[in-house]
Amino acid sequence: MQDTCLPQVYLKPNVERRILNRLKRIEGQVRGVQKLISNHQSCDDILIQIGAVKQAINGVAVELLEGHMDTCVAESIVKGQGTKALASLKGALTHVLRQVS
């Protein structure tokens, strides 16, 4: 997949910080799932936690998508590279949406 972000354009710092914080929480959730399995907890409880992790990952994808459109895609459009940026975004979205379920 081609990178449409110009080197000087990236996520806004507050968006990057929120995404990193979410990922750290997800990392903790995954460790919690590992602990549930190690402690032979209920499969039902483990599945519920795995569902929560999936939902949290989906939230990261949405936030990243919004941030990407606000910075990289918008800047590419301003620079006259909108068609390339939108094609790349469409490919990434198609891939992510195939994974959602």
pLDDT digits (tens, 9 = 90+) for 16-70: 999 999 999 999 999 999 999 999 999 999 999 999 999 999 999 999 999 999 9
Top-confidence residue, 84 or 50: 50
In this model, does residue 96 exceed pLDDT 80? yes
A 10 A CB-CB count for 17 gives: 11
Torsion sign across C-alpha atoms 75, 77, 81, 85: positive
pTM above 0.85, yes or no: no
| pLDDT recorded at residue 8 | 63
Task: Say what the pLDDT of residue 1 is.
Answer: 45
C-alpha span between 6 and 69 (Å, rounded):
13
